[in-house]
Amino acid sequence: MTADRLDGALVAQQIQRELRAELEELLRRGVRPGLGALLVGDDPASAIYVKSKARRCEELGLHHETRRLAASATTQEVLEAVDDMNRRPEIHGILVQLPLPGQVDARRVLEQVRPEKDVDGFHPENVGRLVQKRPRFVPCTPAGVMQLLARSGVELAGRRAVVLGRSEIVGKPMALLLLHADATVTVCHSRTRELAAVTREADVLIAAIGRAGMVRAEHVRPGAVVVDVGINRVSDPALARELVEPARFAEFERRGYALVGDVHAPEVAQVAGALTPVPGGVGPLTIAMLMSNTLRAAASAA
C-alpha cells in the first residue's frame, strides 16, 4: 500500500480562486485589502517566507508593505513599528514574522497588534475567541490544515485525532479546531510516554513537532490520514538520502540542503492511507489562509 497524496498546493489554488471573487467584490466597494509585514533581523528563512507572502499578495492584487528592522532592534522600536501599522487605514492586516530576535519581547509585540488587524490570530483576544468557538481570525497553518481535510473528504466527527506538538502557533489551535469539529483529540509532546502507542491510536495524525523525520511507520496506524506540518532544513547527506525522495536528491546536491517534514515519508507512505508532501503540502495553505484572513479584516473594516 502507498498512501494517497493530500495535495495542499492544489487546494491552495482552489482557495485563491475563491478569494479572487471576494476581492473583486471588495474592490467594487472601493476597498483594497492591505497587508503589512514586519521583518526584524536577517534570518534567511524568515526573509523567504515574507517574500513568498508578498508575491501572493501581488498575484491576488492586494496592497502589501514590508517594514524591515535591524537584528539589533529593541522591543520599543518593534512596538513603535507595529503602532504605525495599527494607525494606518490602508493596512488591514498585520503580520509580525516570527521568530523575533532574542532581545525582543515577542509576547508584548504580538499583544500590541490590534485584534482586528491580527491576521495571524495570535493576540490573546483572538485566542480566547477561538477557544469559545467564535473566532475572528484562526491561525493560518491550522486553518489551512482544516481546509485540506475538509476539501479532501476526511471525516473528523467521532474520529480519534492526535496532534504531535503543543506550540501556540500550530499545536494548541490545531487541537481546538479538531475538537470543534467533533474529533476526539489527544495532544502529544516531548514528555509524552510511549509516544508511538499513543499516535497509533489516531485516525488523523497531525505532525508539528519540529524534528526532521521523527514520525516513522511505528507511529502510524495503518490507513491513517497523516498531515505533516513540519518544515526542517536538512544539510546532512546521509539524512537527506534517507528522507528526500530520489527525484529531489539532485536538487539537494546542487543547493546543499533540502526541506523535509517531521514525517519519515518513505516509511510512513507504506502504512498511511493519505499523507501530505513536504514541500507542497501545508505550506501553500498557510499563505492562502493569510490572504483569506486579510480579506476578512478588510471586509470588517469597510
DSSP 208: -
Compute the average pLDDT of residues 145-160. 98
Mean pLDDT of the region 199-219: 97
C-alpha cell at 74: 529593541
Which residue, 109, 219, 229, 120, is CA-closest to 178?
229
Which set of grid coordinates corresponds to residue 157? 466527527
pLDDT tens for 163-176 read: 999 999 999 999 99
| Pairing of β 232-234 and β 258-260 | antiparallel
**Domains of the chain (ranges, CATH numbers):** 32-115 (3.40.50.10860), 140-282 (3.40.50.720)
pLDDT higher than 90, residue 246: no
Nearest to 12 by CA among 291, 285, 286, 289: 285
Helix axes 8-28, 44-60, angle to 10 degrees: 50
Give the helix/strand (H/E) hosting 62: none
- DSSP code per residue over 250-292: HHHHHHS-EEE-SB-HHHHTTT-SEE--SSSSSHHHHHHHHHH
User: Stretch 248-276: mean pLDDT, rounded?
Assistant: 93
Q: How many CB atoms lie within 10 A of CB 129?
A: 17
Residue whose C-alpha is closest to residue 126's, from 144, 111, 107, 142: 111
The predicted pLDDT at position 127 comes to 97
Running DSSP on this structure, what letter comes out for residue 218? G
List, in sequence order, every residue forming a beta bridge with 207; answer none if it has no partner: 164, 228
Catalytic positions: 53, 97, 120
Provide the percentage of residues in the chain whose pLDDT is more than 70: 100
Q: How confident is the model at residue 248 (pLDDT cuts 50, 70, 90)?
A: confident
Average pLDDT over the chain reads: 95
In this prediction, residue 179 carries a pLDDT of 98
Q: What is the pTM of this model?
A: 0.95
Q: How far apart are CA 115 and CA 124, in angstroms?
A: 8
Strands (E), the chain: 4-5, 34-40, 63-69, 93-96, 160-164, 184-188, 204-207, 225-228, 232-234, 258-260, 274-275
| Cell numbers for 187 | 495532544
Burial of residue 12 (CB within 10 Å: 0-12, 13-18, 19+) is: buried
Cis ω before 135 (30° cut-off from 0)? no
The answer for 259, left when phi > 0, alpha when psi is -120 to 50, beta otherwise, is beta
The residue among 118, 97, 110, 81 whose CA lies nearest residue 44 is 97
Cα distances from 184 to residues 141, 162, 201, 266, in angstroms, run 20, 8, 11, 28
SS3 45: helix
What are the pLDDT digits (tens) for 24-71? 999 999 999 999 999 999 887 788 888 889 999 999 999 999 999 999
